[in-house]
């Protein structure tokens, strides 16, 4: 997921886990976009200084886990997103239709 976020922000097709953000053309403005997307994806804020101190996807993954507000949150969200992404669109729609929302 992290590599996908980087690829989207940097406009690249593939990102390796050990590629460095700045070496790939990243800058502080793009890093703020990565931070925003990470926040949306993992439902947590990763402060920009921490993000910039973690120059690779692998380093950022470690930082996310280290900074997560609830232990296991990042892994759970990543697992659920992989499951959803692997579902056919019909199944996703059916599951959402069957889900009851309570307030």
50 in a domain, yes or no?
A: yes
Task: Check residues 20 and 45 and name the one with the higher pLDDT.
Answer: 20
Distance CA 16, CA 36 (A): 21
Residue with tokens 């922000």: 9
Distance CA 82, CA 6 (A): 17
Q: What is the mean pLDDT of residues 76-98?
A: 83
SS3 32: helix
- Residue 64: which CATH number? 1.10.1200.10
55 in a domain, yes or no?
A: yes
CA distances from 7 to 13, 90, 97 (A): 6, 27, 32
Range of the domain at 18: 2-98
pLDDT at 101 over 90: no
103 in a domain, yes or no?
A: no
Q: What is the mean pLDDT of residues 60-87?
A: 86
Domain count, the chain: 1
């Amino acid at each position: 997921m992290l590599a996908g976020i980087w690829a989207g922000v940097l406009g690249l097709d593939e990102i390796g886990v050990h590629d460095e953000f700045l070496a790939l053309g990243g800058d502080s403005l793009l890093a703020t976009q990565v931070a925003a997307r990470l926040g949306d994806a993992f439902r947590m804020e990763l402060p920009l200084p921490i993000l910039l101190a973690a120059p690779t996807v692998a380093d950022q993954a470690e930082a996310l886990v280290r900074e997560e507000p609830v232990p296991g949150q990042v892994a759970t969200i990543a697992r659920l997103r992989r499951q959803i992404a692997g579902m056919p669109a019909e199944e996703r729609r059916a599951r959402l239709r069957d889900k009851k929302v309570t307030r």
